[in-house]
Structure 1
């Protein structure tokens, strides 16, 4: 009985470690891609006065999104019989909801436009795809 408990504790520890490493990988990849998008947008002069399209907010919100996705996936692996499929559904719903401000709020911000909103939307999509791909692997 003691070895079963030790085994399950070791398995849980390994699972948490694997999830943490996957989340960290998703974060690094998401940040690099989103920073490249910000760099490109700044280089061609798209919405230079828009705060949301600068490195600080992009870094903060990308990190929050990936950490949230990692925690959500970890919780789903404990409660769902098919956590991968359920995570894809949850991620899709969150993605759609995250796009709403990009096209309703961002165009009205100082320096904002529909193009800037679309660029932020692309960042949301790439981060969601990365999270689903890396976490469910």
Structure 2
């Protein structure tokens, strides 16, 4: 059976066989990872006063990223013969592009610091890792 024919691979026959469930798990993992990263960054004073480093925007944007990735994977499952492989490639490209607005914050937000922006970039990596690990449901 090809990768395109397997719907959930290692999750076949379980509740995790459904993409929305895996998307929800990815959202929980992304938010938990990013809030932990945020707490650590704020504990050491990475960027005091830098509003993007607060729980509400971090949680909201983490979930938004996972929802977007889930929609992309859903689409790829219907259009690609190798959706997991294609998704990993798309996710890598989107991850790199997602760093650009963070870098721009250095020029438009007086409270932004290089360390604060690096933390935001790390948060993008957390979301991408959760999505790449959990959404496909097929072994690599």
Please state which band the TM-score falls in when normalised by the shorter chain.
Answer: 0.7 to 0.9
Please list every run of 5 or more consecutive structure 1 residues that lacks an aligned counterpart in the other structure: 1-13
Tell me the residue number matched to 1:49.
49
Higher RCO (C-alpha under 8 Å, 6+ residues apart): 2
Aligned length: 124
Tell me the residue number matched to 2:40.
40
| Cα pair 1:19 1:135 within 8 Å, conserved | yes
| Cα pair 1:107 1:116 within 8 Å, conserved | no
The alignment's TM-score, normalised by the length of structure 1, stands at 0.84
Please list every run of 5 or more consecutive structure 2 residues that lacks an aligned counterpart in the other structure: 1-13
Alignment root-mean-square deviation, CA: 1.9
Equivalent positions of 1:12-23 (< 5 A) are 18-23=18-23
| Cα pair 1:23 1:66 within 8 Å, conserved | yes
The alignment's TM-score, normalised by the length of structure 2, stands at 0.82
- In proportion to residue count, which structure has more helix? 1
The separation in 2 between residues aligned to 1:44 and 1:96, in whole angstroms, is: 26
Deviation at 1:102, TM superposition (A): 1.7
